[in-house]
């Protein structure tokens, strides 16, 4: 929809994109880089392929600001489903175990969420981009390797849930850098003596940047190419 800055190519710009479902963050960067003939470009925070929402790209000299955006507070909305698990904690992999859900009440759900709010320790998912021994964990996971993952300290400042459509639970989470939403989903299931997987995820905010101000990728490319006098 809008661009944050109107600067020269050398100065660079901050581009807000709405990452489509199934695209990797690198897919989005590569699309803008090739289509808009941009030499220097990077993104400020990975989104999983099965997540959608706000992705910040920086070009030119603005790439020096990437770290500040990566460290900013983030907001997500999504859905989890209780009673089943997958190895990846989302729909990238097939269901592996089913669990009972009849014992779960609104009150026990709220208590589980409360335990996962504040400064907590969490273990990243095995299917994640965390590096171990110079290799992404998801590559080890896809080969069936067993790895020992170390916990990390993160802050979940807000965790709201709506279980109107139980066992599906809608959520909104505000959290610090490095928080894995899939880990929170997994841990909700465990605290409820059941299981859970994430069925939807959308990042709606990074710091002071909002998804409502983001560009659809194809629309941004078309506009940028027109500005540059490139053929569509």
CATH of the domain at 214: 3.30.2350.10
CA angle 99, 157, 55 (to 5 degrees): 85
Together in a domain, 196 and 211: no
pLDDT at 57: 96
> In 10 A of CB 91, how many CB atoms?
14
pLDDT at 143: 64
- For 23-181, list the strands marked E by DSSP: 41-43, 52-59, 74-82, 84-85, 97-98, 118-122, 131-132, 135-136, 152-162, 168-175
Together in a domain, 56 and 110: no
**Residues 103-157: pLDDT tens digits?**
999 999 999 999 999 999 998 887 655 555 556 555 555 665 566 678 899 999 9
Structure tokens at 76: 């997500």
Together in a domain, 81 and 154: yes
Together in a domain, 87 and 62: no
In a domain, 3, yes or no: no
Q: How many domains does the chain have?
A: 2
Q: Rounded to an integer, what distance in angstroms lies between the CA atom of residue 45 and that of residue 101?
A: 34
Together in a domain, 179 and 116: yes
SS3 219: helix
pLDDT at 2: 44
CA distances from 123 to 8, 70, 84, 148 (A): 42, 19, 19, 10
Together in a domain, 150 and 87: yes
pLDDT at 94: 94
Q: Rounded to an integer, what distance in angstroms lies between the CA atom of residue 214 and that of residue 7?
A: 18
213 is annotated as an active-site residue: no
pLDDT at 174: 98
- Could you identify the residue written with the tokens 């299917």? 127
Together in a domain, 195 and 106: yes
- Structure pTM? 0.88
pLDDT at 26: 92
Asked whether 163 and 169 are in contact (CB, 8 A), the reply is yes
In a domain, 223, yes or no: yes
Together in a domain, 144 and 193: yes
- Catalytic: which of 10, 27, 48, 162? 48
HSE-CB for 159 with a 13 A CA cutoff = 24
Together in a domain, 128 and 167: yes
Domain that holds residue 165: 74-206
Q: Rounded to an integer, what distance in angstroms lies between the CA atom of residue 231 and that of residue 218?
A: 14
Asked whether 196 and 4 are in contact (CB, 8 A), the reply is no
Together in a domain, 62 and 81: no
Backbone angles phi, psi at 196, to 5 degrees: -155, 150
Together in a domain, 62 and 127: no
pLDDT at 6: 44
Q: Which residues does the chain have with pLDDT short of 70?
A: 1-10, 127-148, 231-232
Together in a domain, 170 and 67: no
- For 83-192, list the strands marked E by DSSP: 84-85, 97-98, 118-122, 131-132, 135-136, 152-162, 168-175
């Amino acid at each position: 929809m809008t661009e944050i800055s109107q600067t020269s190519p050398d100065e660079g710009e901050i581009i807000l994109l709405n990452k489509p479902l199934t695209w990797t963050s690198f897919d989005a960067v590569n699309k803008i880089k090739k289509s808009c003939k941009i030499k220097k470009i990077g993104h400020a925070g990975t989104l999983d392929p099965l997540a959608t929402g706000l992705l910040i790209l920086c070009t030119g000299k603005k790439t020096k600001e990437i770290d500040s955006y990566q460290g900013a507070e983030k907001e997500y909305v999504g859905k989890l489903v209780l009673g089943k698990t997958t190895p990846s904690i989302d729909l990238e992999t097939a269901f592996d175990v089913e669990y009972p859900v009849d014992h779960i009440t609104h009150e026990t759900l709220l208590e589980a969420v409360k335990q996962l709010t504040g400064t907590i320790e969490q273990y990243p998912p095995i299917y994640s981009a965390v590096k171990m021994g110079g290799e992404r964990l998801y590559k080890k996971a896809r080969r069936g390797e067993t790895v020992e993952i170390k916990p990390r300290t993160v802050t979940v400042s807000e965790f709201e849930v709506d279980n109107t459509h139980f066992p599906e639970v809608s959520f909104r989470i505000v959290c610090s850098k490095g928080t894995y939403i899939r880990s929170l989903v997994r841990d909700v299931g465990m605290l409820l003596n059941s299981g859970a997987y994430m069925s939807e995820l959308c990042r709606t905010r990074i710091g002071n940047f909002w998804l409502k101000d983001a560009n659809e990728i194809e629309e941004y490319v078309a506009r940028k190419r027109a500005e540059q006098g490139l053929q569509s």
